[in-house]
């Protein structure tokens, strides 16, 4: 190689190295940016979920601890009225029944917003209670299997409870199923929440391409903030199976 | 039903308006003598020390000391006092906690007047009493 060629070769090599370094810098920056934006996205979802759940807790507690006793006090007071008039007695009786209906409704709303059982007794009891209540309302047989005791932090318990609620609601609303099975198990520090129904199913890829729907997005977001993986297996006519796997 | 004199009652609830309603109702019952009212479990225990009632009616959720802790203390130190748990809704886990703590009666806050009086009389006569409105099954108790 003569000196001119060598010089040319060196110049090309330097240019290639510089371009390479610049490219590498851009790639690293892009990856870092991507990671940062993913982290921010996750933090944003977490913040949104926290705000939502805190608001739910506050409203549920106001309904339960403030409005409930007030209504009961009003019922006690009107029942203390003394009258011998039949019409007045009937009016008192009717008003008492109305107050009972309002209190029952308050309980349902408060429980939907944030079940006391979830905060006091944990996820397993809360899911059992939710399924027992929803079977009365929806007439959908739900089998819940959980053989281990679950000891998770409250945020995870709330997220998993919401996922179960969403799956039950979705199944009742869309699946036309005659059975839903929900199973929770822990293996090697991973928690698996698996659900399966025998309903009409749907085309998962078509669904995420066209319109994912709020329900499905909620399942994904809540799994994501727990650092978990969400899988949905479904085909038309073959039911729906969800698997949520999170580290514990 | 066996009635041996006036039944001495103390109530505990953190909502003044609810205590007012309960007081008005109980004061009209000839067989019941409402001795005092407490705002929370700690006050209830203080009152019991001096008043020695026959029956206490206590809310479950209260500040400072809740109904479960108060019922445990009463059942341990004053076993002859009948305890009735008062709850806003029929929440199974709360009620079971109260029964385990020593309550023998349970009432919803919106129970009818005659139910409240029946509950007091039953617990006074060492019988248990569970509110008619509850959806909870009692076969284990």
Nearest CA to B21 among B11, B31, B32, B6?
B11
CB contact under 8 A, B88 and A64: yes
Q: Give the span between the Cα atoms of B63 and B60, in whole angstroms.
A: 10
Radius of gyration of chain A (CA): 28
CB contact under 8 A, A68 and B28: no
CB contact under 8 A, A69 and B25: no
Sheet with A229-234: strands ordered across: A142-145, A180-187, A190-197, A240-247, A229-234
ipTM of the complex: 0.78
Residue whose entry in the numeric block shows the structure tokens 């103390």: B10
Q: Which A residues in the span 37-66 are in contact with B, Cβ-Cβ below 8 Å?
A: 64-65
Q: How confident is the model at residue B12 (pLDDT cuts 50, 70, 90)?
A: very high
pLDDT tens digits, B93-118: 788 888 899 898 998 888 888 888 99
Q: What is the pLDDT of residue B140?
A: 44
**More confident: A32 or B138:** A32
CA quadruple A225, A231, A236, A238: dihedral, nearest 10 = -120
Contact (CB, 8 A) for B78 and B100: no
CB contact under 8 A, A69 and B13: yes
Contact (CB, 8 A) for A183 and A247: no
Q: Is the model's pLDDT at B5 over the cut of 60? A: no
B5: left (phi over 0), alpha (psi -120 to 50) or beta: left
Q: CA quadruple A105, A107, A108, A110: dihedral positive or negative?
A: positive
Q: Give the span between the Cα atoms of A94 and A99, in whole angstroms.
A: 9
Tokens read off for A40: 């921010």
CB contact under 8 A, B110 and A72: yes
Tokens read off for B35: 């001795």
Nearest CA to B72 among B54, B63, B60?
B60
Q: Is the model's pLDDT at B1 over the cut of 80? A: no
Q: What is the pLDDT of residue A194?
A: 95
Out of B15, B25, B110, name the one closest to residue A103 (CB).
B110
Nearest CA to A193 among A226, A164, A162?
A164
| Interface with chain A: mutation pick from B14, B21, B32, B131, highest number of A CBs within 10 Å | B21
Q: Is the model's pLDDT at B134 over the cut of 70? A: no
pLDDT tens digits, B49-97: 888 899 999 998 888 898 899 999 999 999 999 999 998 876 777 888 8
Nearest CA to B54 among B23, B82, B33?
B82
pLDDT tens sequence for chain A (248 residues): 678 888 899 999 999 999 999 999 999 999 999 999 988 888 888 888 888 889 998 998 888 888 888 899 899 888 888 888 888 889 988 999 999 899 888 888 988 898 888 888 899 999 998 998 888 778 889 999 998 888 888 889 999 999 999 999 889 988 888 899 999 999 988 999 999 999 888 887 777 777 667 778 889 889 988 999 999 998 888 899 999 999 98
Q: What is the pLDDT of residue B141?
A: 44
Chain B residue with the nearest C-alpha to that of A125:
B93
**Residues comprising chain A, all counted:** 248
């Amino acid at each position: 190689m003569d000196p001119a060629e060598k010089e040319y070769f060196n110049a090309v090599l330097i240019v290639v190295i510089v371009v390479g370094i610049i490219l590498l810098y851009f790639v690293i920056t892009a990856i870092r940016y991507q990671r940062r934006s993913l982290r921010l996205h996750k933090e944003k979802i977490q913040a949104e979920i926290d705000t939502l759940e805190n608001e739910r807790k506050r409203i549920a507690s106001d309904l339960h601890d403030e409005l409930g006793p007030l209504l009961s006090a009003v019922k006690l007071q009107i029942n203390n009225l003394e009258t011998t008039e039949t019409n007045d007695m009937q009016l008192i009786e009717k008003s008492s029944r109305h107050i009972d209906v309002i209190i029952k409704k308050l309980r349902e709303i408060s429980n939907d917003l944030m079940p006391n059982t979830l905060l006091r007794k944990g996820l397993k009891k809360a899911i059992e209670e939710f399924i027992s209540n929803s079977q009365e309302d929806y007439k959908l047989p739900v089998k819940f299997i959980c053989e281990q005791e679950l000891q998770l932090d409250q945020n995870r318990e709330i997220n998993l409870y919401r996922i179960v609620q969403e799956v039950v609601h979705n199944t009742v609303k869309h699946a036309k199923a005659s059975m839903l099975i929900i199973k929770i198990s822990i293996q090697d520090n991973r928690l698996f929440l698996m659900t399966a129904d025998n309903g009409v199913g749907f085309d998962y890829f078509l669904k995420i391409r066209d319109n994912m729907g709020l329900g499905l997005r909620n399942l994904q977001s809540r799994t994501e903030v727990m650092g978990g993986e969400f899988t949905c297996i479904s085909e038309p006519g073959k039911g729906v199976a969800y698997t949520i796997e999170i580290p514990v | 039903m066996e009635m041996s004199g006036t039944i001495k009652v103390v109530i505990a609830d953190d909502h003044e308006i609810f205590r007012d309603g309960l007081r008005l109702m109980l004061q009209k019952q000839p067989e019941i003598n409402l001795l005092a009212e407490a705002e929370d479990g700690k006050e209830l225990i203080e009152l019991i020390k001096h008043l020695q009632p026959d029956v206490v009616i206590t809310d479950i959720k209260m500040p400072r000391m809740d109904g479960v802790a108060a019922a445990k203390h009463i059942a341990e130190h004053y076993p002859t006092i009948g305890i009735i748990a008062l709850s806003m809704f029929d929440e199974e886990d709360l009620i079971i906690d109260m029964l385990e703590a020593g309550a023998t009666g349970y009432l919803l806050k919106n129970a009818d007047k005659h139910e409240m009086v029946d509950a007091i009389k039953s617990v006074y006569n060492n019988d248990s009493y569970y509110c008619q409105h509850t959806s909870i099954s009692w076969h284990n108790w």
